[in-house]
Every structure is written in structure tokens, then in C-alpha cells.
């Protein structure tokens, strides 16, 4: 019951955030955004044709009315039709969301799990050459642009100049009924996943190591060591469990941005029809209805993540109060 | 062997003796001393300095001015005439890479300075007035800006400014300040309860003066580190944004070179891609090394 009350209050508290995000993006992207009137008109339009199109696109209404309509769309999850493709925005998102999730999830999990493992290892051997090796690797990983990694991996794994083991572009992993064909899935998901993990490892390992090292220098760890606890129990019970709060924060907060920003580059480069590709195409074409939907949904996702993070804190550290 | 160790310890002790810190033993003196002993940091700083000279040279048109000239040598490999080869329309890759260094430094410098200033001012205000409506407003603004997907925000700013050449810079400045601001806010909350602030307040120094003259100078070491982080982030973002068509529009940059090189790759010509990537990579890693060494030197509490 307490949790429910807390969740409700937290969700209400997220409303200013959603208003802020939607207002700024509406102002910049829609109100001052591209005018699609002329692209939708045929040749030699009459004044009435122009009027009709402007009415259809909603340009003839006042700012407050258009913004209120956006908020209503966000509440009802009905964003109308795409302005470029003849499809409902909700249908487009429903089709592309699973693709993006299938694409991201392996890389996201591996990128965090491997990074935590490496960070634990480095923190345990702090100061030794193993630690230095891992940290040098992570600085190198941080310094290579994501774009370069994607291109280089594609050349190396997918083209005849390299190993030529995986398909260059595309995403043909579903059979006629929409179920995943696993062999195809692995074929298409491997190279994007490798690229994501490579880049994520640099940043994540460094961050997790810093958190773990700080925990490791605390008195209770020294005491546990003095009492002769094994390295495993020391690392997992005394260090990792106490460091879970900053770790969860990082993992949780990267979720909303990874879903849109992370997949945008990969999807547009590998030609994978996910949310990122849709977003990229919408940016290029100025399809405001899709962009409105994506920005609004990301903001909602953020509020949910904030709530979930607070509840998770409680799980890892019972001393944290929900208030 | 043991003699060696003893000598080293003796050396260390003399190094750390008071006369080395005679000038008031300040944070900056100690940091400079620590930085001088950091080989990685020095290497990074040297490389960044070399890049800076390249960029300044382009600025004064000593070199790189012929980046858009075409020639009849299409897609030739490295030679004495074209050190890094040429691209599909015969432009010299080395000249283009050198000219792009200036573009990268422009983006990095503008974004780093302005986003740090913005973050410092807003962070100091929200820290000093923590708990009031000013703080809530600034925190709300940071939360909002952090929740808009970056590429979409850049696109939105580009839409609103109708393709202005500085849309990318403005978008980066208005999102990068939040990181600095959060750090400064925490530091100011710590500083404002210290005695020197209380003393200033008790003799009637105005609040503006307390914030900007008494508290802010004590955060300058954080601002220096934050600005190097923003610099690196700006250079890396420029590459991706230019590739997506949201960044540099006129001229040439590493991002645009990588973007055009995807065509070369299909035909098996790697020099365009490799040169721009390697130039970018070396600058970024040098800057990261420099930034790390500065953090180590300036943060007395940091455990590494």
C-alpha cells in the first residue's frame, strides 16, 4: 500500500518534467518547425487548396490549442497519422518497437555485465598491471567514436575486405507469422551488438571501477578482509552489494536514451527498421507527428524509470526511505 | 637494490619538502607539481598542443587552405605528393584532415567555454539558493534538458533556427551545461556553509558578490576539468551529427569526411576513412589523458 501511494505521488511529481519536455520540443520542432504545406500540395494550388492543407496539418489553429491537442494525444496514445507515410503513428511504433528491443537488449545486457565483471576484477587488483591494462583499454574504448566503431566493424565482419561472415544491412529475422527465426536473428544481431558492447565497455568499466574502488577503501571491507573472508564473498557481498545504488542509477537512466539515441545511429547505418530508423527518417522528412510521439513517450519513459529506480534503491538498501 | 629504494625515498622526501610549496602551498601549486610527474598527462597535453598549433596555422592560412581544390588524381593511394592519398574527386586527404582540425577546435572551444560558463552560473545560483524556487526552477530545467533525446534536440534546434550554421553549437551548449551545473551545485552547497562565506555575509557583502566573488573562484578547478570533458564531448558529437546531416553544413570536418568515405569503403579505398578516424582518435585520447591527469592533480580526495 505504501509503495502504491509512493508510486502515485512520484508519477504526479513527474508531470512538470513531461510538460517541460513536451513544451520545449513542441515549441522548437512543431511551432517553429518545418512547414509541410508546399510538399503536400499538388501543382498550381488554389488559395482554397492551401487553406485545406493548412487546416489538415493544424497550422491554422492557435499555439495553445495545438499544444493542448498534443497533450491530449499523449494521454490517449493516439498521435494521428504520419505526415509522410500513410499510416497511423501508433501502428508504426507498434511495428518498430519490438525490432529495436530485439536489437538493443543483448548489447545492453552484455555491455553492463561484462563491464561490471571487468571493473570488479580491476578494482580487486587495483594498482597492478592487470588493472592498468583494463583501464588503458577502457580509455581507448572511450576515445573511439561510436560511428567509427560501427563502420570499422561493418567493414571487418561484413565485407569482402574482412571476414565477410555476416550480412551488411537489413533485418530479415521474422517468419511469416512474426516469430523470430533464431539462426537469422544471430546472423543479423551480432555485429551491431559487438559495436554497442565495444563502446559501452569503455565508459561503463571506468565508471563502475571508480564506484567499486570507493566502496573498497571503506572500513567495513578492511574489517571483512581482516576476518579472513574469501575474495568472492568480499567482492560480491561487501563491495558489489553496497555499490548497487550508483550502479542501478546508471543502468536505469541509460535505458530511455539508449532506446532512442543509441539505436538511431546503428539502425540508420545497418538499415534496421526500428524506432531509431523511424526517428531518423522523421527528422530528415520533418514528420512532426512521429517526432512528437517519440519525444513525448521518451519523457514518460523517463518518469517511469525515475520511479522504478527509487523502488530499486529500497530493494538494495532497506535503509532508504520511500518519500 | 635496497640502496636504490632508499635513494628514491630520500628523493621523494626532498621533493615533498616545504620549500617546493613555498608559494603559499596552494591547490594550483600542488596540482602543477603533481601534473608534472604524470607522464600520461604530459604526453596528452603535448599532443593536444600540437593539434592546437595545426588549428592555429589553418586559422592564419599557413596550411590547409587548398582543402577544396580538386585534381586529376582520383582515388590514388599515399604518395609523396599526396601523403594520405586523394578522395573520389581528387582532393588531397591530408589537407582536408588538417583543415578539419580547425573546425573541430572551433566547435570544441565554443561549446566548452560557453557551456561551462552557463553551467557555472546556473549551478552556483541553484546551489546558493538551494531549497528555494530558484533552485527548483533550475533543477527542473536540467531534468527537462536531460530527458530530451540528444539527436532529437539537435534536430529541433536546427528546425527552429531554419538551418543556421550555429544550430549544432547552440544545441550542444544548451544540453552540455547540465553536467557542469550539477557538480557545481553540489560543491556550492558544501562551500556556502563555510566560515569565509559567513564572514563575508556578516560584514554586509551583497549576495551577488558572495556567489560570484567569494564562492565561484573556489570552484575554478572543477570548471577547468568540466570544460575539458565538454570539449571532448563536443568534438565527438560533431562527428556523429555531421554524419547524420545535422552538424557542419559548409566546409569540411572529420564527420563529413567519414560520411563521404562510406562510399569509398564500398570500392575498397580506406585512406579517407582511416585518416579522419585516426586524427579524431588521437586528439580525443590525448585530451582524455590530459583531462584525467588534471582530475588526478586537482582533486585531493580522488582515489585511483
pLDDT in the model for residue B145: 92
Q: Do A260 and B304 touch (CB under 8 A)?
A: no
B 128-157 → A contacts, CB under 8 A: 140-141, 143-145, 147-153, 155-157
Q: Which of B15-19, B23-27, B263-267 has the highest mean pLDDT?
A: B263-267
B142 occurs within a structural domain? yes
Which CA distances in Å does B119 have to A163, B111, B115, B205, B251? 47, 12, 6, 24, 30
Which CA distances in Å does B113 have to B105, B119, B233? 12, 10, 13
Chain B partners within 8 Å of A158 (Cβ): none
B190 occurs within a structural domain? yes
Interface test with B, best of A18, A21, A148, A239 (most B CBs within 10 A): A148
pLDDT in the model for residue A10: 83
Q: Do B143 and A161 touch (CB under 8 A)?
A: no
Whether B219 contacts B204, CB under 8 Å: no
- Grade residue B22 by pLDDT with cuts at 50, 70 and 90: low
Q: Is the pLDDT of residue B154 over 70?
A: yes
pLDDT in the model for residue B1: 42
Q: What is the pLDDT of residues B64-79, one digit of tens each?
A: 777 777 777 777 777 7
Interface test with A, best of B47, B108, B157, B159 (most A CBs within 10 A): B159
Domains of chain A: 2-76 (no CATH), 93-316 (1.10.3720.10)
* Calpha distance B111→B231 (Å, rounded): 7
Give the torsion sign (CA, B1, B4, B9, B10): positive
Q: How many domains does chain B have?
A: 1
B9 occurs within a structural domain? no
Q: Do A139 and B268 touch (CB under 8 A)?
A: no
Q: Do A257 and B288 touch (CB under 8 A)?
A: no
Q: For residue B269, which of B81, B98, B73, B68 has the smallest C-alpha distance?
A: B73
pLDDT in the model for residue A84: 77
Rounded to 10 degrees, what is the CA torsion of B242, B244, B245, B247?
-30
- Grade residue B11 by pLDDT with cuts at 50, 70 and 90: low
How many A/B residue pairs have CB atoms within 8 Å?
123
Give the torsion sign (CA, A223, A229, A231, A234): negative
Mean pLDDT of chain B: 86
Q: Which of A283-292, B87-96, B208-217 has the lowest mean pLDDT?
A: B87-96
Which segments of chain A have a pLDDT < 50?
none
Range of the domain at B164: 30-298
pLDDT in the model for residue B23: 54
* Calpha distance B166→A84 (Å, rounded): 28
- Grade residue B28 by pLDDT with cuts at 50, 70 and 90: confident
Q: Report the CATH number that the domain containing residue B116 is assigned in CATH.
A: 1.10.3720.10
B14 occurs within a structural domain? no
B134 occurs within a structural domain? yes
Whether B272 contacts B93, CB under 8 Å: yes
Q: Do A28 and B159 touch (CB under 8 A)?
A: yes
ipTM passes above 0.85: yes
Q: What is the pTM (predicted TM-score) of this model?
A: 0.87
Q: Which of A51-55, B119-123, B243-247 has the lowest mean pLDDT?
A: A51-55
Backbone angles phi, psi at A174, to 5 degrees: -110, 140
pLDDT in the model for residue B110: 95
* Calpha distance A198→A215 (Å, rounded): 26
If you measure CA to CA, which chain A residue comes closest to B159?
A33
B93 occurs within a structural domain? yes
- Helical spans, DSSP H, in A129-181: 129-143, 146-158
pLDDT in the model for residue B4: 62
Percent of chain B with pLDDT over 70: 90
Task: Give the residue, A4 or B197, on which the prediction is more confident.
Answer: B197
- C-alpha distance from B162 to closest chain A C-alpha (Å): 8
Amino acid at each position: 500500500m505504501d509503495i502504491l501511494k509512493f508510486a502515485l505521488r512520484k508519477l504526479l511529481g513527474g508531470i512538470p518534467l513531461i510538460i517541460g519536455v513536451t513544451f520545449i520540443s513542441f515549441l522548437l520542432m512543431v511551432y517553429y518547425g518545418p512547414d509541410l504545406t508546399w510538399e503536400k500540395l499538388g501543382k498550381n494550388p488554389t488559395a482554397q487548396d492551401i487553406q485545406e492543407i493548412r487546416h489538415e496539418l493544424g497550422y491554422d489553429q492557435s499555439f495553445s490549442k495545438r499544444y493542448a491537442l498534443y497533450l491530449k494525444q499523449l494521454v490517449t496514445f493516439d498521435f494521428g497519422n504520419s505526415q509522410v507515410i500513410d499510416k497511423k503513428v501508433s501502428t508504426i511504433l507498434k511495428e518498430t518497437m519490438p525490432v529495436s528491443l530485439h536489437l538493443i537488449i543483448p548489447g545492453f545486457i552484455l555491455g553492463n555485465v561484462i563491464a561490471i565483471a571487468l571493473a570488479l576484477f580491476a578494482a580487486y587488483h587495483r594498482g597492478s598491471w592487470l588493472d592498468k591494462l583494463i583501464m588503458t583499454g577502457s580509455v581507448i574504448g572511450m576515445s573511439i567514436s561510436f560511428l567509427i566503431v560501427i563502420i570499422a566493424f561493418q567493414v571487418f565482419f561484413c565485407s569482402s575486405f574482412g571476414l565477410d561472415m555476416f550480412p551488411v544491412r537489413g533485418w530479415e529475422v521474422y517468419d511469416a507469422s512474426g516469430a523470430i527465426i533464431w539462426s537469422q536473428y544471430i546472423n543479423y544481431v551480432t555485429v551491431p551488438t559487438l559495436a554497442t558492447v565495444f563502446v559501452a565497455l569503455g565508459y561503463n568499466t571506468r565508471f563502475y571501477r571508480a564506484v567499486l574502488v570507493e566502496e573498497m577503501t571503506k572500513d567495513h571491507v578492511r574489517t571483512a578482509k581482516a576476518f579472513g573472508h574469501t575474495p568472492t564473498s568480499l567482492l560480491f557481498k561487501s563491495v558489489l552489494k553496497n555499490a548497487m545504488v550508483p550502479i542501478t542509477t546508471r543502468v536505469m537512466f541509460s535505458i530511455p536514451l539508449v532506446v532512442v539515441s543509441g539505436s538511431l545511429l546503428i539502425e540508420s547505418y545497418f538499415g534496421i527498421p526500428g524506432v531509431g530508423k523511424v526517428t531518423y527518417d522523421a527528422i530528415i522528412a520533418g514528420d512532426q507527428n512521429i517526432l512528437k510521439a517519440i519525444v513525448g513517450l521518451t519523457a514518460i519513459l523517463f518518469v517511469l524509470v525515475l520511479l522504478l529506480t527509487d523502488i530499486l534503491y529500497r530493494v538494495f538498501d532497506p535503509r532508504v526511505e520511500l518519500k | 637494490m635496497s640502496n636504490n629504494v632508499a635513494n628514491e625515498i630520500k628523493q621523494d622526501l626532498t621533493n615533498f619538502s616545504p620549500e617546493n610549496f613555498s608559494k603559499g602551498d596552494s591547490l594550483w601549486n600542488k596540482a602543477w607539481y603533481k601534473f608534472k610527474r604524470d607522464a600520461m598527462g604530459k604526453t596528452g597535453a603535448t599532443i593536444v598542443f600540437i593539434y592546437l598549433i595545426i588549428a592555429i596555422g589553418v586559422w592564419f592560412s599557413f596550411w590547409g587552405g587548398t582543402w577544396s581544390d580538386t585534381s586529376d588524381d582520383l582515388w590514388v593511394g599515399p604518395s609523396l605528393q599526396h601523403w594520405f592519398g586523394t578522395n573520389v574527386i581528387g582532393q588531397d586527404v591530408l589537407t582536408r584532415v588538417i583543415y578539419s582540425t580547425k573546425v573541430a577546435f572551433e566547435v570544441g572551444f565554443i561549446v566548452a567555454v560557453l557551456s561551462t560558463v552557463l553551467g557555472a552560473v546556473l549551478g552556483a545560483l541553484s546551489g546558493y539558493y538551494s531549497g528555494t524556487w530558484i533552485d527548483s526552477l533550475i533543477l527542473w530545467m536540467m531534468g527537462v534538458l536531460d530527458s530530451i533525446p540528444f539527436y532529437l534536440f539537435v534536430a529541433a534546434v536546427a528546425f527552429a533556427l531554419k538551418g543556421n550554421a550555429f544550430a549544432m553549437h547552440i544545441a550542444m551548449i544548451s544540453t552540455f551545461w547540465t553536467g557542469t551545473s550539477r557538480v557545481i551545485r553540489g560543491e556550492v552547497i558544501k562551500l556556502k556553509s563555510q566560515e569565509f562565506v559567513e564572514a563575508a555575509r556578516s560584514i554586509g557583502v551583497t549576495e551577488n558578490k558572495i556567489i560570484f566573488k567569494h564562492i565561484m573562484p573556489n570552484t575554478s578547478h572543477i570548471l577547468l576539468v568540466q570544460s575539458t570533458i565538454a570539449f571532448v564531448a563536443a568534438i565527438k558529437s560533431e562527428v556523429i551529427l555531421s554524419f547524420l546531416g545535422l552538424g557542419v553544413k559548409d566546409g569540411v570536418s572529420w564527420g563529413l569526411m567519414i560520411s563521404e568515405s562510406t562510399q569509398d569503403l564500398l570500392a575498397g579505398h580506406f585512406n579517407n576513412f582511416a585518416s579522419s578516424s585516426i586524427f579524431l582518435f588521437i586528439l580525443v585520447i590525448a585530451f582524455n589523458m590530459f583531462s584525467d591527469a588534471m582530475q588526478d592533480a586537482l582533486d585531493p580526495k580522488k582515489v585511483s
